[in-house]
């Protein structure tokens, strides 16, 4: 007997999406350098030649997974904001979309923010560029500030979001996404004193 995977036939676009999703999970759990194309092919249940029909190299596959993950994250943020025009509620709904994405797709957290084993300058640059693009998109929504202040504020906001996300993930997601979105939104809109005041009222 052989270990050759049995390949079920899928339309090319569906197969590509399946392979990207598999690559996300494998790289998130093993790290980029510890992941081989063989690992991804085996996990996806395809042969290695099938994998190379879609991606020229592991690096190209990583780039594509990275771009798609960032795009999905942005869509999760934007989709929830559509239901409100109130600035404060709009902010909290966007943050809810941020946390909800990682609740539904926890491996995306390690893939995006746990990539400490990425040594290649080009890969690190691509990851940083896409994260910066998220920050710039946030800055464009701050119409009351000039561009320089918007980018600085958005950078701080993104840092806070990632910090809160990291705590939540490492803490076993004990709080609900709604609680985390509310707490993070309160930190952003009212600062530390707003959170302390709310906790004092609850106690």
The total of structural domains in the chain comes to 2
Are 44 and 127 in the same domain?
A: no
What are the pLDDT digits (tens) for 63-119?
899 889 988 998 998 888 777 677 778 888 888 999 999 999 999 998 988 755 566
Are 80 and 170 in the same domain?
A: yes
* Backbone φ and ψ of 14, nearest 5°: -70, -40
What predicted TM-score, i.e. pTM, was given to this entire model?
0.79
Are 64 and 86 in the same domain?
A: yes
Q: Which residue among 55, 74, 98 closes a domain?
A: 55
**Token couple for 43:** 């996990």
Are 37 and 102 in the same domain?
A: no
Least confident of 15-24, 44-53, 107-116, 164-173: 107-116
Q: Which residue among 31, 55, 79 closes a domain?
A: 55
What percentage of residues in the chain have a pLDDT greater than 90?
A: 42
**Token couple for 150:** 């918007």
Could you tell me which residue, 90 or 32, shows the higher pLDDT? 32
pLDDT for 169 equals 93
Q: What is the CATH number of the domain that holds 29?
A: 1.10.10.60
Are 31 and 70 in the same domain?
A: no
Residues 43, 166: Cα–Cα separation, whole Å: 27
Mean pLDDT score across all residues of the chain? 82
Q: What is the CATH number of the domain that holds 102?
A: 1.10.357.10
Q: Which structural domain, as residue segments, surrounds residue 72? A: 57-202
Are 66 and 147 in the same domain?
A: yes
Least Cα distance to 32 among 12, 4, 62, 73 occurs for 62
What are the pLDDT digits (tens) for 120-142?
666 667 767 767 776 666 666 65
**Token couple for 77:** 């943020």
């Amino acid at each position: 007997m052989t270990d050759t995977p049995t390949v079920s036939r899928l339309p090319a676009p569906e197969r590509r999406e399946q392979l990207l999703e598999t690559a996300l999970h494998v790289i998130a759990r093993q790290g980029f350098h510890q992941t081989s194309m063989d690992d991804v092919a085996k996990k996806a249940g395809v042969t290695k030649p099938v994998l190379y029909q879609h991606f020229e190299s592991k690096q190209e596959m990583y780039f594509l997974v990275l771009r798609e993950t960032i795009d999905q994250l942005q869509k999760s943020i934007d989709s929830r904001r559509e239901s409100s025009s109130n600035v404060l509620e709009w902010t909290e709904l966007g943050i809810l979309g941020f946390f909800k994405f990682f609740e539904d797709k926890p491996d995306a957290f390690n893939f995006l923010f746990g990539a400490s084993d990425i040594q290649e300058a080009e890969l690190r640059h691509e990851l940083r560029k896409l994260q910066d693009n998220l920050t710039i998109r946030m800055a464009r929504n701050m119409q009351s500030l000039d561009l320089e202040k918007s980018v600085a504020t958005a950078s701080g906001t993104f840092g806070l979001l990632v910090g809160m996300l990291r705590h939540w993930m490492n803490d076993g997601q004990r709080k609900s996404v709604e609680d985390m979105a509310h707490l993070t939104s309160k930190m952003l809109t009212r600062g530390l004193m707003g959170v302390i005041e709310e906790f004092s009222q609850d106690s």
